[in-house]
Structure 1
């Protein structure tokens, strides 16, 4: 079963953000665009490259009205320790949610039950709390934050322009499509 076009489920988790421990809930997420960026574990290999890549795009995402939440089944204490120990993770300004029970990871259906770890899952959530896009990759395949920004722009465009859709490789400012009977078989 896919969680695409479904409402995020209620949650309340501890997190680390900019030197402080905070609580994050589903209600706090609603009202603006959000990216949930699940990854297997702190102090690993591909994960810091991905989180650092998102950190490099965070200012751009903020300008677009998007908040980022990275999530692993580690604790918020482990996130702080990793932040303190790694130059790559130290540059992160977004919220790092701890999910030691795995409840949030299961809510997004990206838990590897046998290992107790999250898959590499990216979820774009609209201001109403509805999941608009999903990307899940296998353990050894890192994601690209530049393409994440492109996908968020496409999701925001479609939300703001009912009746229009973004074709493959759409970039901001490019032509969109207006699905109709006239387009059938002509693309």
Structure 2
């Protein structure tokens, strides 16, 4: 009984955080979802593309249920990192639609397998796993990238929150600058006290 509860609990959280990832793209123009916002090139659409490739592998080939569409291989060193950004030939719609198709494929894997069903992750140091391990891993990775997306979106237009129904009210620029200045003063004061 606890196995079914754990599987559904983790699966439910994964479904929610996936939607959050896509919500972070809402209302932004093509350039803003693609442009590099960190020195390593991290961008919103690239995060979605990366998650679709990663999730397709974890709930696909790890359990001998390969995702039916071609994707870059995990062991192709020449393609390493290309899943983190969108080329000019890839549309936002293609990437988002693929991510949703990956969800369907992953959801089927999660539904049909028991939480202790065996899988094999050849790129992990301890490659023999169970569905439980992979559910926790993918949920953790998706949540981590959702955190990146939170910061990137806030950088772009100040929007924060976890979903359209749970947005934090956008404060005006004067409020945000006053709060930032308050935090900056506290940081400097802490250093001076040492």
What TM-score comes out, normalization by structure 2 length?
Answer: 0.30
What TM-score comes out, normalization by structure 1 length?
Answer: 0.31
